[in-house]
Amino acid sequence: MKRIDPAELSVFLAIATHRSFRKAAVELGVTPSALSHALRAIEERLDLRLVNRTTRSVALTEAGERLYARIRPAFLDIHDAIEDLNSLRGQPVGTLRLNASQAAARLVLLPLVLRFLAVFPDVRVEMVVDDALVDVVAGGFDAGVRFGESIAGDMIAVPLGPRQRFAVVGSPAHFERHPVPASPHDLRTQPCIRYRFLSGALYRWEFERAGEALDVEVNGPLTLSDQDLMVDAAMAGTGLAYVFDARVTDLVASGRLVRVLEDWCPYYPGLFLYYPSRRHLPAPLRAFIDFARAPGPKK
């Protein structure tokens, strides 16, 4: 077997991490074709197939899985050692890769990132918005932002942004045709705009007041998977929408939407920045965590 330079294995590591030639090529700054040729050269020198690829998927062979499991910790140690040198500089340098749900990105993360970049001009932030639950480690991300209940227990979680709550809203025209609901049970008799998760499940609207918790399976003519579209549909009079109140505060204040059942919509813990435990955090991530934790407005 011909000798392989450890640096060449970064090609295989990127492919194995992303399970995608396209994404790996973007990370390494090369074309997918060049990446494919580089991997083929490694496999020929090892005399082993490391990756099975089709037009739709990329999967590691048994040899590929074993190699990935052995070299990934070593490459992380090298990455961490280099990142440690950032502490010798006045400002952190490098790329911070974040994954967030759409709600997290709009409500908290993007405003925070824009303020962060103004303070740390030598850091580049790549923010990928994905409502699916993503393994940030396998996806090659430094951290993710989600609501607390969806974060794996082996992650370190840092509170990010204020508490959140939902709001039930409808247009003034809607309430000209339908009575104002006195309790969540009344929603069953009104047209509502339903929300469907990427998993295919329909969201049951959740409420709580004075220790009483309940959820309601609403009905209506329209089902969406995007809260901005739900707000638009509510303003058009299609039905009631159940969305984050931060999305509709100004619309309620201006009278374009009417809020109901507010006493049934309590606050709950908001979003969290989460990341895997490491001995050494990348300098851009450490700076971002410290920035997020610092007192004062972040929006």
Closest CA to 274 of 141, 163, 107: 141
3-state secondary structure 86-123: HHHCCCCCEEEEEEECHHHHHHHHHHHHHHHHHHCCCE
Nearest-10 crossing angle of helices 283-293, 110-119: 110
Q: Which residues pair with 114 in a beta bridge?
A: none
Give the Cα separation of 168 and 157 in Å (integer). 29
Sorting pLDDT into bands at 50, 70 and 90, what band is 299? very low
Which of 22-36, 72-86, 126-140 is predicted least confidently?
72-86
- What pTM value is reported for the model? 0.63
pLDDT score of 133 more than 90 = no
pLDDT of 57 higher than 70: yes
Q: For residue 24, what pLDDT is reported? A: 86
Has residue 297 got a pLDDT over 60? Answer: no
Q: 170, 260 in Cβ contact below 8 A?
A: yes
pLDDT in tens, 218-271: 999 999 999 999 999 999 999 999 999 989 999 999 999 999 999 999 888 788
pLDDT band at 83 (very low <50, low <70, confident <90, very high): low
Domains of the chain: 6-79 (1.10.10.10), 89-162+270-293 (3.40.190.10), 166-264 (3.40.190.290)
Residues 6+ apart with CB under 8 A from 230: 193, 195, 224, 241, 242, 243
From 76-90, 195-209, 261-275, 282-296, the region with the lowest mean pLDDT:
76-90
- Mean pLDDT, to the nearest integer, of 273-279? 79
Kindly indicate the confidence band of residue 186, based on its pLDDT and cuts at 50, 70 and 90: very high
What DSSP line would sit under the chain, residue for residue? -----GGGHHHHHHHHHHT-HHHHHHHHTS-HHHHHHHHHHHHHHHTS--EEE-SS-EEE-HHHHHHHHHHHHHHHHHHHHHHHGGGGSSS--EEEEEEE-HHHIIIIIHHHHHHHHHH-TTEEEEEEE-SS---TTTTT-SEEEEEGGGS-TTEEEEEESS-B-EEEEE-HHHHHHSPPPSSGGGGGGS-BEEEB-TTSPBPPEEEEETTEEEEE----SEEES-HHHHHHHHHTTS-BEEEEHHHHHHHHHTTSSEEE-GGG---B--EEEEEE--SS--HHHHHHHHHHHSSS---
Q: How confident is the prediction for the chain on average, in pLDDT?
A: 87
- Give the pLDDT confidence score for residue 1 in this predicted structure: 54
Partners of 158 in the β-ladder: 273
* 7 has pLDDT over 80: no
Whether residue 264 contacts residue 207, with contact meaning beta carbons closer than 8 Å, is answered with yes
